[in-house]
Amino acid sequence: MQLVEAVVLVTGGSSGIGRAIAQAMVGAGARVAITGRDRRRLDEAARAVGAHAIHADVSREEDAVRTMHEVLATFGQLDVLVNNAGVGVFKPLVDMDLASFERVFGTNVTGAMLMAREAARHFTVRKTGAIVNIGSTASHRGAPNGTAYYASKFALRGMTECWRSELRKFNVRVMLVNPSEVITNFSAAASIPQTANPSKLQAEDIAHAVKAALEMADRGFTTELTVFATNPQD
């Protein structure tokens, strides 16, 4: 894909991996829109990156539909959806409350589906497009306290495979990028400890992987890409 003048929508683009991806896309010459729930942080990120800000919560169907309408009204088309918005809750099963569980699935699974649905309706008509789902190495294994977050990433991986099977005949590439631990504000927001050692992955590393996957010629695509730090130290 040629990213120059391509239209890219990055959900959860206010900070962390999403913001780094938006920055990389703008740097490659793309026209970029980002979504976020925190208006102040969203607007600051959009100004800094050079992106179009759309205040939206992807877990709300009306916001997902409105986001796609705004992208098409602003840019006239969409070439790439990056499903990056995500939240995490980490609790033992015996302490898991329904509200927390549903909040994680609402963003990580339902939100990704809603955004992909709206993008796919556009892509299947145009007979081209790309969906990049930001997963996690958590989608390959279980772990203590991972009931909500790990399961949501397993579900995202499964949906990715379903969408890939459905959309290939329309020349739509559906890709999954699985980061291992990345130094962002995600851990603090999820109340889990993280040591910011420079040997660990940075958001820019995941952005690089997404950009490289997208820039492959459209006759082929990387279905799934896992990114590990070479030798991370705590």
Burial of 171 (0-12, 13-18, 19+ CB in 10 A): middle
Q: What is the token pair recorded at 2?
A: 């040629």
Q: What is the number of other CB atoms lying within 10 angstroms of the CB of residue 128?
A: 16
Pinpoint the alpha helices (H) of the chain: 16-27, 39-49, 61-75, 98-105, 112-126, 147-167, 186-189, 203-215
- What DSSP designation does 200 have? S
Q: What is the token pair recorded at 75?
A: 């840019």
Burial of 182 (0-12, 13-18, 19+ CB in 10 A): buried
Sequence letter at residue 52: H
Contact (CB, 8 A) for 190 and 90 = yes
Residue tagged 């509200």 (tokens): 99
Tell me which of 105, 123, 149, 150 is the catalytic residue. Answer: 149
Contact (CB, 8 A) for 119 and 131 = yes
149 is catalytic: yes
CA distances from 191 to 85, 89, 179, 187, 194 (A): 18, 8, 19, 6, 9
User: Known catalytic residues?
Assistant: 149
